[in-house]
């Protein structure tokens, strides 16, 4: 699976570890940055991830302090459904019911271990379709 990952300065440490984890389970990861803890503008990286998901990647992973900013920026792109996930259950529902194609991780509110577990559920789950299709099409 091809996954594009990006973060702001608050998520850079998680991004590095999550990328290593995803590669260890044979996913192709494109890291679009940032690569330092120096303050950056999160929309720049959210837009890069969203553009790659729309053109070339199966999924995207975004990480910032709260998960909110990157999710808001990514959701400006038609066809992107970025979901902030803080538990495995939320990640499962984001995929099953909302056909989310980007997961947004709130690095300041969950552990790295939790983040990896949540992302692992997100990429393994699928869209249930059915009654959810009409709802997703209205987004």
Question: Can you read off the two tokens belonging to residue 28?
Answer: 């192709």
* Residue 61 to residues 55, 129, 132, 139, Cα–Cα distance (Å): 15, 22, 23, 20
- Is residue 131 very low, low, confident or very high in pLDDT (cuts 50, 70, 90)? very high
Give the residue-averaged pLDDT of 20-47. Answer: 97
Phi, psi for 135 (deg, rounded to 5) = -65, -45
Q: Is 110 left (phi over 0), alpha (psi -120 to 50) or beta?
A: beta
pLDDT single digits (tens) 36-77: 999 999 999 999 999 999 999 999 999 999 999 999 999 999
* Structure confidence at residue 135 as a pLDDT band (50, 70, 90): very high
Question: Which residue from 83, 81, 69, 86 is spatially nearest to 10, judged by alpha carbons?
Answer: 69
Cα–Cα dist 104/71, whole Å: 6
Residue 64 bears catalytic tag:
yes
pLDDT of residue 10: 97
pLDDT digits (tens, 9 = 90+) for 67-115: 999 999 999 999 999 999 999 999 999 999 999 999 999 999 999 999 9
Q: Which among 9, 29, 47, 64 is annotated as catalytic?
A: 64
pLDDT at residue 98, rounded to an integer: 98
d(CA 56, CA 54): 6
Q: Is 27 a catalytic residue?
A: no
What is the per-residue pLDDT for 56? Answer: 96
Domain that holds residue 6: 2-137
The CATH number of residue 35's host domain is 3.40.1400.10
d(CA 139, CA 137): 6
Residue 6: the pLDDT is 98
Domain count, the chain: 1
With tokens 């330092």, the residue in question is 36
């Amino acid at each position: 699976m091809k996954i594009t990952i990006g973060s702001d300065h608050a998520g850079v440490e998680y991004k590095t570890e999550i990328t290593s984890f995803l590669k260890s389970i044979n996913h192709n990861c494109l890291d679009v940055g940032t690569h330092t803890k120096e303050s950056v503008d999160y929309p720049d990286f959210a837009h890069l991830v969203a553009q790659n998901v729309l053109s070339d990647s199966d999924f995207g992973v975004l990480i910032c302090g709260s998960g909110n900013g990157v999710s808001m920026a990514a959701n400006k792109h038609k066809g992107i459904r970025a979901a902030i996930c803080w538990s495995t259950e939320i990640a499962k529902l984001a995929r099953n019911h909302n056909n989310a194609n980007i997961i947004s991780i709130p690095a300041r509110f969950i552990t790295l271990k939790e983040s990896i577990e949540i992302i692992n559920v997100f990429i393994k789950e699928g869209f249930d379709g059915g009654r959810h299709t009409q709802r997703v099409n209205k987004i």
